[in-house]
Chains A and B, each alone.
Chain A
């Protein structure tokens, strides 16, 4: 269903954002009390939405293989647990992950476009992406050129995203805004609108390398951009907060936010993901607490 090429000029005017108002709204999501069956269901959803991530200079094939095993076996002592949605690695590790996950339905996401800074040439970014796809990546997590964005070259940012999406074809493209570098929520909203209109299947907050990362204020702002786009066009776009979500409570509050803003249609890993490395075990511990009634120890949950 490849439609006509997206045009920068078609992006609607982004609404202005009052940050204090956003903080108040977000605090309301945080006062939602998730108990009992709702909590079990929520925790299970969180697990199924995780993009288990390793993005370090010191990543090796062995590290990636271990993470891929964990992705398929979150906590074998408990039946009925889902697997994570995907693993997220550097392009050079895609083939390793592909091999390690060949028997599972877990997706392989690869970062690209000179992740995390995006400071490279257009050609390098394109070949980076092509390399990851050729190696078997199911999803691409690209970064936007924040320097260009901040100097007002929105057109440039838009064109880059559109070009990468063209390379991705049917493969899903997540566009990382690196909101910690965008200074304020108005910019986050603007970048979200640009990414969505340029063809992003998902918008994603952060690389995990910059603080602050996926604050609820930022995620809220991006969810509102997705909502407005959906209301206008009927087209769904996915959301991936990444970085800084390491507790079950925060993850559940994110789900509350998704439910109340976008609705339950988004409460699947097709449309919502968490980019996280340490979230899974906290969720598992909370889950087991619900099952057993006992508070859990980290010693009983494998770290990789």
Chain B
């Protein structure tokens, strides 16, 4: 007889059970129960946001090179646990071929974003030629705490595709796992926990989106929300909930299996542009240096 594993949630680098003590059963494609999963509550969202906020300063101020190293480490760790992910993907209804492709694509995508960590700034930033004696430059800075609602279509690749550009850019994340296929999300949390990612940078909760999303979307300490392939209804209600503190709401409709479903645009959506002015003193008057 198989042991029915209980999947816990991932907050502040720990694996607590949900505050509410509730679980729900996740079934395989044939309808057989495969796991018990936490049915997280508003309080878990609160805790996750708190952890993400705490982690934001240090993570965004960490050197970009170092963030790249950590993302690459995540890819390495994921590579070491391919088998487990393939098994879970199959359990949740994938064919073995698709599962293999999904894990390989996921690893590639993490490596791809690992490479971006210390490069996107140069593309998004600029030196601006103003019409006065000032040095003026614009840089990209992380938006802050980003709430991500998982794409229901894919268990792992969607998660990786949504998560990586957000943290590559220096943001921290509260991630609501796909309701029906949350296994990979929690197993991925185990990957994160064993890579060098600091606690709180990514927090993953499982449960029912309609219970958690409004809390996350209304939370005044969340700076942005990220939806992927969500229904119009969810998009609209999320946008309405986001108004009170003017969260940036990013909605994409991508097929994450596509090779082109990646790029700097996914990073820049969670960046703010900061422009700095400073006077330039023309020492010595009118003489040119040429």
Task: Report if A and B associate in a common complex.
Answer: yes
A35 to B155, CA, bound (A): 78
Point out the residues of chain B lying under 8 angstroms from A18, CB to CB: 279, 281
Point out the residues of chain B lying under 8 angstroms from A183, CB to CB: 283-284
The reply to whether the CB of A293 lies closer than 8 angstroms to some CB of chain B is no
Q: Which range holds the interface residue count of chain A?
A: under 10
Point out the residues of chain B lying under 8 angstroms from A20, CB to CB: 133-134, 279-281
Residue of A nearest to B134 (CB): A20
A212 to B283, CA, bound (A): 13
Q: Tell me the minimal C-beta distance from B247 to chain A in angstroms.
A: 38
Q: Which of B175-197 contact A (CB under 8 A)?
A: none
The reply to whether the CB of A80 lies closer than 8 angstroms to some CB of chain B is no
The reply to whether the CB of B285 lies closer than 8 angstroms to some CB of chain A is yes
Q: Tell me the minimal C-beta distance from B282 to chain A in angstroms.
A: 7
The reply to whether the CB of A19 lies closer than 8 angstroms to some CB of chain B is yes
A154 to B57, CA, bound (A): 47
Q: Which range holds the interface residue count of chain B?
A: under 10
Point out the residues of chain B lying under 8 angstroms from A184, CB to CB: 281, 283
Point out the residues of chain B lying under 8 angstroms from A228, CB to CB: none
Point out the residues of chain A lying under 8 angstroms from B279, CB to CB: 18-21
Point out the residues of chain B lying under 8 angstroms from A21, CB to CB: 279
Q: Which of B230-251 contact A (CB under 8 A)?
A: none
> Which of B133, B281, B282, B285 has the most A CB atoms < 10 Å from its CB?
B281
Q: Tell me the minimal C-beta distance from B268 to chain A in angstroms.
A: 32
Q: Which of B74-96 contact A (CB under 8 A)?
A: none
The reply to whether the CB of A153 lies closer than 8 angstroms to some CB of chain B is no
Q: Tell me the minimal C-beta distance from A20 to chain B in angstroms.
A: 3
Contact with B along A209-223 (1 / 0, CB 8 A): 000100000000000
A38 to B215, CA, bound (A): 67
Residue of B nearest to A212 (CB): B285
The reply to whether the CB of A23 lies closer than 8 angstroms to some CB of chain B is yes
Contact between A19 and B281, CB atoms less than 8 A apart: yes
A20 to B285, CA, bound (A): 12
Residue of B nearest to A215 (CB): B285
Q: Tell me the minimal C-beta distance from A17 to chain B in angstroms.
A: 9
Point out the residues of chain A lying under 8 angstroms from B283, CB to CB: 19, 183-184
Residue of A nearest to B133 (CB): A20
Q: Tell me the minimal C-beta distance from B252 to chain A in angstroms.
A: 44
A21 to B277, CA, bound (A): 13
Q: Which of B270-290 contact A (CB under 8 A)?
A: 279-285
Residue of A nearest to B282 (CB): A19
Point out the residues of chain A lying under 8 angstroms from B282, CB to CB: 19
Point out the residues of chain B lying under 8 angstroms from A212, CB to CB: 285
A232 to B141, CA, bound (A): 45
Point out the residues of chain A lying under 8 angstroms from B133, CB to CB: 20, 23
Q: Tell me the minimal C-beta distance from B140 to chain A in angstroms.
A: 27
Q: Which of A18-34 contact B (CB under 8 A)?
A: 18-21, 23
Contact with B along A239-268 (1 / 0, CB 8 A): 000000000000000000000000000000
Q: Tell me the minimal C-beta distance from A275 to chain B in angstroms.
A: 21
Q: Tell me the minimal C-beta distance from B114 to chain A in angstroms.
A: 42
> Which of A18, A19, A21 has the most B CB atoms < 10 Å from its CB?
A19
A183 to B281, CA, bound (A): 12
Point out the residues of chain A lying under 8 angstroms from B284, CB to CB: 183
Contact with B along A193-214 (1 / 0, CB 8 A): 0000000000000000000100
Q: Tell me the minimal C-beta distance from B218 to chain A in angstroms.
A: 45
Residue of A nearest to B281 (CB): A19
Known: A19-B283, A21-B279, A23-B133. 15 other contacts (CB 8 A): A18-B279, A18-B281, A19-B279, A19-B281, A19-B282, A20-B133, A20-B134, A20-B279, A20-B280, A20-B281, A183-B283, A183-B284, A184-B281, A184-B283, A212-B285
A residues with a Cβ closer than 8 A to B are: 18-21, 23, 183-184, 212
18 examples of A-B residue contacts, CB within 8 angstroms:
A18-B279, A18-B281, A19-B279, A19-B281, A19-B282, A19-B283, A20-B133, A20-B134, A20-B279, A20-B280, A20-B281, A21-B279, A23-B133, A183-B283, A183-B284, A184-B281, A184-B283, A212-B285
